[in-house]
């Protein structure tokens, strides 16, 4: 099968490229190398075709979509810190860029998987979050939510194109995916904590650390994406992909220190010191993964300990 991955040099995209190559596909990657990196796919040199470019380049997208059998749309501007610091560019890429990919897949009648996010549920306090949970976001001036808004609109366009034009799309909502190759540069907590722990530097918890998340190893997430893409009953549908085991950020910091045998101290800083104005956090984010289990029998295999160990090994290397 000829697979085309937008964002294929990114964190999830590059792991997906590995899995597709292992499956025997021919793989084409498009990446603008903003949050992605040639380092993530260096080991695939000679095995994949790489285009450095932007998903807003309509002519290029149309050509690459036409030449493929299946499209994995993983490209996005992401990371809370990144979105808040580059708001306009992020909205443009995430919404306008995605629209181009969606329309090209419709026009050429290609199977499409789109990467969405748990962020779309916003700060809905009713946990766990299932696929029909409401979106609860703050005022438009709370610019953190622009990422959720752009992604939600992308999902809505995909859903509508499926209904009106038969677009063969499956939507995947990733919840706090972590693993090797993820960088802490754009705000993600796990690589940030592990990076600090490995250097015995202070681990910085925002607010009081009572906020909680559930982390999912990227290998598990990629397995979910592949199986969803191989299962026709998932066409036109949308799925949470997340881990199990809710943990507070304070507990996460302690666990990272313990597993990396670090001498780091924990430092608490207010959100106002960590993020620009327009930030608000959600207290909990817990996925309900019963729908994907029902459709394809998927469940995550990696524990949080194994996630931390694999990220630490990667960062040391």
Active site residues: 147
Interface with ligand UDP by CB under 6 A: which range of 129-137, 149-157, 182-190, 299-307? 182-190
Query: What is the spatial distance between Cα 55 and Cα 53, in angstroms, rounded to a whole number?
Result: 7
50 vs 282, beta carbon nearer ligand UDP: 282
Interface with ligand UDP by CB under 6 A: which range of 14-22, 123-131, 203-211, 299-307? 203-211
29 part of the interface to ligand UDP, by CB under 6 A? no
Residue choice 213, 217, 223, 259 for contact with ligand UDP (CB under 6 A) = 213
How long is the chain? Answer: 317
Residue choice 32, 106, 176, 240 for contact with ligand UDP (CB under 6 A) = 176
Query: What is the spatial distance between Cα 231 and Cα 291, in angstroms, rounded to a whole number?
Result: 14
12 part of the interface to ligand UDP, by CB under 6 A? no
Query: What is the spatial distance between Cα 219 and Cα 182, in angstroms, rounded to a whole number?
Result: 12
Residues 239 to 278 in contact with ligand UDP, rule: CB under 6 A: 249
Interface with ligand UDP by CB under 6 A: which range of 85-93, 94-102, 198-206, 292-300? 198-206
211 part of the interface to ligand UDP, by CB under 6 A? yes
111 part of the interface to ligand UDP, by CB under 6 A? no
Q: Which of 181, 179, 180, 174 is nearest to 155 (CA)?
A: 174
192 part of the interface to ligand UDP, by CB under 6 A? yes
In the chain, how long is the greatest CA-to-CA distance? 58
Residues 240-274 as b/e (b if ≥16 CB within 10 A, e otherwise) read bbbbeebbbbbebbeebbebbebebebeeeeeeeb
Only one residue has tokens 């809370």, namely 80
Between the CA atoms of 173, 237, 161 and 172, what dihedral angle is there, to the nearest 10 degrees? 20
Number of residues interacting with ligand UDP: please give it, by CB under 6 A.
14
To ligand UDP, the closest distance from the beta carbon of 187 in angstroms equals 4
Residue choice 75, 102, 148, 189 for contact with ligand UDP (CB under 6 A) = 189
3-state secondary structure at position 286: coil
Cβ proximity of 252 and 285 under 8 Å: no
16 part of the interface to ligand UDP, by CB under 6 A? no
List interacting residues with ligand UDP (CB under 6 A): 80, 176, 187-189, 192, 204-206, 211, 213, 249, 281, 285
């Amino acid at each position: 099968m000829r697979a085309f991955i937008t964002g294929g040099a990114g964190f999830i995209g590059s792991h997906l490229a590995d899995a597709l190559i292992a499956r025997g596909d021919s793989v084409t990657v498009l990446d603008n190398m903003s949050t992605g990196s040639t380092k993530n796919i260096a080991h695939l040199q000679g095995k994949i075709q790489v285009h450095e470019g932007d998903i807003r380049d309509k002519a290029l997208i149309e050509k690459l979509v036409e030449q493929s059998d299946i499209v994995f749309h993983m490209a996005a501007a992401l990371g809370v810190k990144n979105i808040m610091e580059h708001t306009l560019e992020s909205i443009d890429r995430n919404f306008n860029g995605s629209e181009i990919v969606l329309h090209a897949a419709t026009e050429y009648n290609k199977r499409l998987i789109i990467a969405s996010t748990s962020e779309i549920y916003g700060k809905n306090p009713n946990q766990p979050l299932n696929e029909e949970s409401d979106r609860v976001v703050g005022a438009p001036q709370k610019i953190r939510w622009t990422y959720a808004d752009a992604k939600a609109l992308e999902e809505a366009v995909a859903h509508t194109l499926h209904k009106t034009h038969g677009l063969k799309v499956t939507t995947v909502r990733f919840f706090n995916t972590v693993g090797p190759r993820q960088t802490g540069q754009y705000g993600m907590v796990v690589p940030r904590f592990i990076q600090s722990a490995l250097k015995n530097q202070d681990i910085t918890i925002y607010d009081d650390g009572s906020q909680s998340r559930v982390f999912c190893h990227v290998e598990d997430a990629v397995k979910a994406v592949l199986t969803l893409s191989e299962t026709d009953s998932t066409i036109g549908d949308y799925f949470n992909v997340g881990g199990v085991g809710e943990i507070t950020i304070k507990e996460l910091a302690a666990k990272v220190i313990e597993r990396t045998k670090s001498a780091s101290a924990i430092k608490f800083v207010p959100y106002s010191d960590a993020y620009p104005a327009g930030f608000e956090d959600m207290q909990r984010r817990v996925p309900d993964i019963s729908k994907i289990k029902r459709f394809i029998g998927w469940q995550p295999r990696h524990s949080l300990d194994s996630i931390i160990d694999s990220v630490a090994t990667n960062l040391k290397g």
